[in-house]
Amino acid sequence: MITSLNWVLLLVTVSIMVGLALYSNKIMKTGNGEGGFLLAANCLGPFIGAATIVATGFSGWGFMGSPGVAYKYGAIELLGNFFFAPAMVFAVLFCARFLHQKAEQMGSFTIPEYIARSHEGPEIVKRFTQAFAAIITIILLLVFLVGQIKALGLLAGQWLGIDQDTAALLMVGIIILYTSIGGLAAVAFTDAFMVIGMCVSALIIVVTIFSDMSPSELISGLNAIDPELLAPTDSGPYGSSVWHVLMVLPYAFIYSATLPYMSVRFMALAKTTKLHHVAAYMTPIACLLSLVPLAGLYTRLKVPNLATPDEAMPTFLANFLSPSMSAVVTLFILFAMKSTANSVLHAIAGSVSHDLRQAIWPNCRLSEKSLLILNRGAVWLLGGTGFVLMLLAPPFMLSMLAILGSGTLMAALVAPTLLAHFVPANIYAALFSMIIGFSSGCLFFLQFNLGWVEAPIYSSLFACGTYWFVAKYFNHQPSTVSFHSH
């Protein structure tokens, strides 16, 4: 009976999302060529802009992974998760305007193109830099996408009563369908629909917990199990001291301001959209979603002996919600996963159809219809590639894939997107900083036993140092190289 309800819920919501995609397709066609597909024809208003930023930032990790971390490590995860809210708001208030205006002046549709066009240098080096930025974006975000598809398959398979590979294929097919119809506009409009469901889910979780016990009872109960859950001596997965959790704030800020699937939304805001209005919508939504790890703390108190912490949220859904309510909340958790997966897919499709095409064939001139076919074809190709890679990939921790993919890419792109606003530099500084950020990010993550946010933060510092050093070097070498503007 419940499985039938789940299928009905899925069909209804998919119909709504396809309808939103068809509506956004009309908006997209008002854009100038590729700008309609890649930048939503710069139509994002304050609510849609805020909703798509928060929905993308608070992915399925916030609903599935984060409660598991809270179950194992305690309240430190509640604090770490909460830092994402102010970090994302700060990123919008302090970074969105200059990124939007500069991209509009240069006619940039993607972050790799923005980096290439905003730095002076020989044309061949600029094209190589755009290609390099596109390639690492494709590789690292494909890694991230594989993890998202895997998580979607695991949850949707249980929810629909089918095997996880079939469920993963179904979920990927849905995402490909609406993303290819309307591009970023479709992603943004469906994100807005999905974030409403995510907020309802968070409210259900919080009301369920505090209808059963007061906050003081939850605190005293956890303290009785293990005082470390409330007064830890380290930051759990974030680092070896209690202060390491504070690194989540700069991590989430750089994450929001530099990652292509996040920052492209800044470029897509409408000219009339006021950033303080975006921030006003974002703040309550992000703060509400930050409370979801409470489910892990509550489950630790009620069911203290789970085999693995990752079972915390499934256990909460099965034991503390009615079957129909559990079905609805699970649907909204799938929304959270899809809202990030569709954004990642759109970003890597743009890198393939736009950035690589520009870098390899700079004089290629295609009609708007041909460009749209290319953009949509890239979405289908890369969505299918992500699914096949998921089938071939060995067993892995989903959180590891997320940090390796997004954290390393963030370190590679932070200097030429953020630091460039304060430090005048040429294309060589951008290229070398990306190489150092990418290589040090991979090295720190794979070879050193660092906290989850430490490796991206340290490699970001290395990349920014490289950017500054190369910029200073060329400032002192005025006669050694001549530059040609784009």
What residues does each domain of the chain span?
2-399
Q: How much is the average pLDDT of 43-58?
A: 91
- pLDDT beyond 80 at 280: yes
Q: How confident is the model at residue 481 (pLDDT cuts 50, 70, 90)?
A: very low
pLDDT in tens, 18-46: 999 888 877 766 555 677 888 888 888 99
The DSSP symbol for 420 reads: G
What per-residue confidence (pLDDT) applies to 242? Answer: 83
What per-residue confidence (pLDDT) applies to 30? Answer: 59
- pLDDT beyond 80 at 131: yes
Spatial CA neighbour of 189 closest among 5, 47, 288, 73:
47
What does the alpha-carbon distance between residue 379 and residue 359 come to, in Å, rounded to a whole number? 19
What per-residue confidence (pLDDT) applies to 427? Answer: 93
Cβ pair 450, 458 in contact under 8 A? yes
* The listed CATH number (1.20.1730.10, 3.30.565.10, 3.20.20.240, 1.10.10.410) that belongs to domain 2-399: 1.20.1730.10
Q: Structure tokens of 242? A: 């209690």
What per-residue confidence (pLDDT) applies to 482? Answer: 38
**Lowest mean per-residue pLDDT among 36-50, 258-272, 467-481:** 467-481
pLDDT in tens, 220-239: 998 898 888 888 888 777 77
What per-residue confidence (pLDDT) applies to 438? Answer: 93
What per-residue confidence (pLDDT) applies to 104? Answer: 86
What per-residue confidence (pLDDT) applies to 292? Answer: 92
Q: How much is the average pLDDT of 159-170?
A: 91
What per-residue confidence (pLDDT) applies to 231? Answer: 84
* Alpha-carbon distance values, 378 to 62, 244, 292 (Å): 29, 40, 35
- pLDDT beyond 80 at 452: no
- pLDDT beyond 60 at 486: no
What does the alpha-carbon distance between residue 124 and residue 120 come to, in Å, rounded to a whole number? 11
pTM of the model: 0.87
